[in-house]
Amino acid sequence: MQIKYSIQGLLIYCTMAFFILAFLAGIIRLRKTSHFFFFWGFVASAFSYGWRWYQVKHTPLQNLFEVFLFLGLIIYPLSVFCKKVLKTGGWVGDMLIGAVVLVPAGFAFPERPLFLPPALQSSLFAPHVMVYMLAYLFMTKAAVQAYFQIVGVKYNPKWGFVDCEEATYRLICAGFPLLTGGLILGCIWAQLAWADWWGWDPKEMWSLATWLVYAGYFHYRIMFGTKFGRLNSLWALTGLALILITLLWANLSILFSGLHNYA
């Protein structure tokens, strides 16, 4: 673990503190206070991401440090969208997710700016990574709802949220097109950068495996509906496991050396 004694580190830790305070306030049902801290956590994360952008002079998505900064930035607007549009619960859990995704940036990965490799100097670089990270957060929220469904958590209808099984479905419906878009953009980018649509790179393969799991979720739900709700939820949890492999293990493990190890 490495504590960052820098402006970047201070901004990350302030963001984490706001998210944790928001989570604690939400646990004890102080809703306005919870939202207040959550919003200011978003503001702090925007300053943090903006400062990184100023330092590196390009969209900060080159490595895992910057990716986790981005995840900390988008959790608040994504959470608001899910609450207002999709009518899914988990608002308080999102605050904890926001703090957790910043832990690697705050304590694990170095903040030293790196040279941007020629392959990443593409107009498709930022949208490719962004849509994937949005998809990953949707699927993370879906996995949380799936876990709640498995353990039997029920929402009060007065709260205005759908039940956990339906919430899982809506979140995966929102995330799956983004997952598909990220895969397609990656293929186009590969063609432009390496003159090949598909390189059989380990991360490409794990990304495809992740996509297939969520496609399997839809197939299973169409076949059986909500009759076996807990099995539907297991599909969502399996998808999250593959996302973690794709995002972390495929980038960091020496077992999966490939074109994506720059991250």
Kindly tell me if the per-residue pLDDT of 49 is higher than 80: yes
Q: Are residues 137 and 198 in the same domain?
A: yes
Domain end point (choices 114, 145, 165):
114
Question: Which of 101 and 116 is assigned the larger pLDDT?
Answer: 101
Q: Are residues 122 and 251 in the same domain?
A: yes
* pLDDT tens string 200-211: 788 888 999 999
Kindly tell me if the per-residue pLDDT of 196 is higher than 70: yes
Q: Which of 149, 148, 18, 100 is nearest to 26 (CA)?
A: 18
Domain that holds residue 15: 1-73+93-114
Q: What is the pLDDT of residue 113?
A: 85
Q: What is the pLDDT of residue 123?
A: 80
* pLDDT tens string 138-176: 999 999 999 999 998 888 777 889 999 999 999 999 999
Q: How far is 169 from 171, CA to CA, in rounded Å?
A: 6
Mean pLDDT of 227-249: 89
Quick one: tokens of 170?
Answer: 């809506």
DSSP string, 148-171: HHHHT----GGG----HHHHHHHH
SS3 helix, strand, coil % of the chain, rounded to 5? Answer: 75, 0, 25
Residue-averaged pLDDT of the chain? 90
Q: What is the pLDDT of residue 149?
A: 92
Mean pLDDT of 171-197: 89
Q: How far is 215 from 235, CA to CA, in rounded Å?
A: 10
Residue with tokens 């608001």: 80
Q: Are residues 122 and 10 in the same domain?
A: no
* 261: confidence class by pLDDT, cuts 50, 70, 90: low
Q: Are residues 154 and 225 in the same domain?
A: yes
Question: Which of 45 and 192 is assigned the larger pLDDT?
Answer: 45
Q: Are residues 139 and 198 in the same domain?
A: yes
Q: What is the pLDDT of residue 250?
A: 72
* 258: confidence class by pLDDT, cuts 50, 70, 90: low
Mean pLDDT of 247-261: 67
Q: How far is 33 from 229, CA to CA, in rounded Å?
A: 35
Q: What is the pLDDT of residue 139?
A: 97
CB 33 within 8 A of CB 25: yes
Q: What is the pLDDT of residue 170?
A: 97
Quick one: tokens of 217?
Answer: 């979720």
Q: What is the pLDDT of residue 179?
A: 96
Q: Which of 251, 221, 224 is nearest to 236 (CA)?
A: 221
Q: What is the pLDDT of residue 225?
A: 78
Q: How far is 88 from 126, CA to CA, in rounded Å?
A: 28
> Which DSSP category does 117 fall into?
-
Kindly tell me if the per-residue pLDDT of 259 is higher than 70: no
Q: Is 20 helix (H, G, I), strand (E, B) or coil?
A: helix
Provide the number of structural domains found in the chain.
2
Residue 82 within a domain: no
Question: Which of 18 and 256 is assigned the larger pLDDT?
Answer: 18
CA 106, 109, 112: angle at the middle one, nearest 5?
A: 100
Q: Are residues 148 and 194 in the same domain?
A: yes
Question: Comparing 86-100, 131-145, 219-233, which segment has the lowest mean pLDDT?
Answer: 219-233
Kindly tell me if the per-residue pLDDT of 26 is higher than 90: yes
Residue 79 within a domain: no
Mean pLDDT of 81-96: 94
Domain end point (choices 61, 85, 114):
114
